[in-house]
Structure 1
Amino acid sequence: HCKVRPKYHDGKSTHPYCSRTCANASKANGNNNGNANGYPANGNGQTPQRGITMPGAFNNTAPIVGNCSTPGCQLPVYKDSNGNPGKYCSKSHKSCVPESSWFSDHRFSRKGCIACRKSEKSGKTNFCTACEVSVMRNAPGIIEIAEENETFKIVSQQFKRSWRHTTTCPKVRAIYKIVSAKQILDKYNAYRDSVEARGNFTAVNRPPGNENRRWHGTRRKCTLGDKGCTTLCPDPQCSLCCIVRTSFDLAQFGKKTSWGRFGPGIYTSSTSSKANDYSSTDSSSPWNAMLLNKVVVGKGYKILHDNPSLAAPPPGYDSVLAEVGGSLNYDELVVYSNDAVRPSYLVMYE
């Protein structure tokens, strides 16, 4: 039995196959090297119990080459009078599955568009062409990334590897792509391009504007990011939703802490556990929230000791790189322009 359609029942008894086509195809293949019930034998020549998923049938591997593309069917594909193989064992199986095969769907769920999870990504974006138009039309907002998607794995690995405190790194529960409005992104891109024009960082194999990804912890007053919750709250005191909606704002500096080691700037870190120190949740949510941001570092001014009088990087520099060894146990990156940073991912963790 192919395990896709139910076995045929004539009102008195249940037959081993869903149809004559399926039965004939199985017989032509010698019962698929299995047994009278049409179940393929396992590696030991034994027949598996009903309900057990066989290797190559469902979630773990692609369909076997030369076999029907219908998920779960192990029968050989149909061949025309010239011996040219098709994709399915029969017309009935061709009609009961979509044109996209299991292998295609599985591949796209791992590397494809994070929205529809069906199509190829467009360029360096996280979306296919159709979804990109749709999500930008509805921006700002967040879109959950499937755990099997490679982007989820890359972001979660960065979170774990950059947890440098002695405490145990918490488990990542969900990751969302933050979709900013076009005008917000345009300002960031223009700033990055201007920094790149001055520094020519791509000439030394760095990203344009020496763009890097850095963590930021902030206050959350709602349940954004919890299971099934993707709607931004209207509370102006919810820093998380405000940042997702309109990005960072230097005017908010000092409202949570009365000072900054390196003056009024936007602070991020390559250390996720440091950002965790500034993450807070004023709700009953069981999870914490952290932002992974893209930051235009440009030419960074390295510093070891506090300098709260700074209001901008020294002339000729684009940011301040506070390094470990002086006043700090963990690094900080400070920029002094709203357009030098944009939130990119929302990470939910225990």
Structure 2
Amino acid sequence: MSTTLPPMHAALSVLGTMAGQYLASQAQAAQAQPAAQQPAVGTSHPVPQAAQTNNLCDVCHAKPKYFDGTKTHSSCSKTCAAKMPNRGTTNNPPQKRKSTKPAPQLCDYCHKQPKYNDGTTTHSFCGKTCAKNAKAAGIASAPAKPAKNGCLICGSPKKKGHFCSQTCHSKATKKAPVLLEVPQGHDTFGSVSDQFKASWRHQTSCPTVRRVYKVIGHPTSIAKYEAYRAQVEARGNFAATGRSPGNENRRWHGTTRECLLGDNGNSSLCSSQSCSLCGILRTSYSLSLFGKKTGWGRFGAGIYTSSTSSKSNDYSNNVKPSKLKAVLLNKVVVGRGYKMMQDNTSLTAPPPGYDSVLAEVATGGSLNYDELVCYTENAIRPSYLVMYDA
């Protein structure tokens, strides 16, 4: 005989059966899961401190990071997430970027403190004091970021010459005589440096050019030079044959440097009356000083230059200790040059009809390297100061 259970008892029976099945399935799952390995007696394996820290909220560092079933977030809750500086979902705290900003350049005057930056422009000096002292000394501000072939005052692109405009040209000439440093990488630096290396003809290795300065002469002095060049051009008509007006050429000259002009960006001429280098840069060459250093000249009382940089290096001397030597690259109006191979110490002018003397190397001659001699002060002006390894 079958016994029919009341509805209430039937429901309880079904629930009991379902509970038993659930507990049985959980027991089977527990048996399938390997037991956690326990540390051996007498040993301990603490959780690394870094692991403990990395699992905590990046904001409060007190509660575990929130796991949504797919990934672990950086914070423990929405409250902490709202407080994060960057509302991201990265698992790791943001890494501090390494600065790619270059080390600050040093002041063009004191060379000790970084140049002042006002937030938009890096100035040439560290402060008002150095800027004022530099202005009094006639030091021009160098461009912070000059173009490859840029203006030596503002760095802006230019078409020809050394300045982009009459404004920048006027700024330079108002401070004349003054030296403007030519940045490495500038076309002018490359041109001067290449000529120095190409014309080093001694057997010794050519030293490295470290700095090049453009010489800005006084307008009156430059005007006299240009007037003389025009006279020579009018007589010789050199431009018509493809040469430069007046047959102008660049030639080297070495002399004595008493100061440290040119070292470490120092562009201030010294006040010593016996510093030959600063004297030439201030007032150009003077025939009255002929023979002061050597006591004589193979081709008489003139101003001597050479196309050979290593020959001029022989005449470059430092009075003060320095890692650099100085030599001048000059503009010289050669005009019609008279070639000579033998000494003539009595000359005070080139032969009639000529503008200069070209002393050349020849078998049986007295010269080992060439010389160019001019006998007129207005035939030559210093154009560049070149600093190279001593």
TM over 0.5: yes
Taking the TM superposition and a 5 Å limit, the aligned residue runs for 1:230-249 are 230-249=267-286
For residues 310-346 of structure 1, give each alpha carbon's deviation from its aligned partner in whole angstroms, at most 9, with x where no partner exists.
Answer: 1100000000000111211100000000000000000
- Structure 1 segment 1-350 matched on structure 2, within 5 A: 12-14=84-86, 109-117=147-155, 119-121=156-158, 123-325=160-362, 326-350=365-389
In the alignment, what sits opposite 1:92? none
Q: Deviation of residue 114 (structure 1)? A: 1.6
Aligned amino acid, residue 201 of structure 1:
F
Based on CA coordinates, which of the two structures has the bigger radius of gyration?
Answer: 2
Alpha-carbon deviation of 1:121?
A: 2.8
Q: Taking structure 2 as the reference length, what is the TM-score of the superposition? A: 0.63
Post-superposition offset of 1:303: 0.7
Deviation at 1:141, TM superposition (A): 1.1
| Cα pair 2:304 2:371 within 8 Å, conserved | yes
SS in 1 for 2:353: coil
Contact 1:139 1:181 in 2 (8 A): yes
CA distance in structure 2 between the partners assigned to 1:315 and 1:198 by the alignment:
13
Question: CA separation in 1, counterparts of 2:189 and 2:283?
Answer: 24
Q: Could you say if the C-alpha distance between residues 283 and 14 of structure 1 is closer, same or farther in structure 2, counting changes exceeding 3 Å?
A: farther
Instruction: Report the Cα distance in structure 1 between the residues aligned to 2:120 and 2:216, rounded to whole angstroms.
Output: 33
Alpha-carbon distance in 2 for matches of 1:173, 1:109: 19
CA contact (8 A) 1:312 1:336 kept: yes
User: 1:112 touches 1:128 (CA, 8 Å); kept in 2?
Assistant: no
Give the deviation of 1:109 after TM superposition: 1.4
Q: Relative to structure 1, is the Cα distance of residues 14 and 188 closer, same or farther in structure 2, using a 3 angstrom cutoff? A: same
Structure 1 contact 176–346 (Cα < 8 Å) conserved: yes
Q: Tell me which amino acid in the other structure corresponds to 2:243.
A: R
Which amino acid counterpart does residue 302 of structure 1 have in structure 2?
A: K
What is the aligned partner in structure 1 of residue 42 from structure 2? none
Between the aligned partners of 1:307 and 1:223, the Cα distance in structure 2 is 36
Q: What SS is found at the alignment partner of 2:263?
A: coil
With normalisation by structure 1, the TM-score equals 0.70
Letter in 1 for 2:383: S
Question: What SS class does the counterpart of residue 227 from structure 2 fall into?
Answer: helix
> Hey, what's the Cα distance between the residues in 2 that align with 1:15 and 1:278?
70
How much has 1:308 moved relative to structure 2?
0.7
Please list the CA deviations of residues 175-217 of structure 1 after superposition, one character each: whole Å capped at 9, or x if unmatched.
Answer: 0000000000000000000000000000101000000000000
Structure 2: unaligned runs, 5 residues or longer? 1-81, 89-95, 103-118, 122-142
| Number of aligned residues | 265
Structure 1 CA distance for aligned equivalents of residues 149 and 205 of structure 2? 30
Moved more, 334-343 or 301-310: 301-310
C-alpha spacing 1:153/1:106, structure 2 compared with 1 (3 Å): farther
- For 1:337 and 1:220, the matched residues in 2 are separated by 24
Q: Residue 304 of structure 2 aligns to a residue in which SS?
A: strand
Structure 1 residue runs without a partner (length 5+): 1-9, 17-48, 59-95, 99-104
Pair 1:259–1:152, CA change in 2 (3 A): same
CA distance in 2, matches of 1:171, 1:338: 31
Aligned-pair RMSD on alpha carbons?
Answer: 2.8
Shift in alpha-carbon separation, 1:126–1:155, aligned structure 2, 3 A:
farther
Q: Secondary structure at the match of 2:296?
A: coil
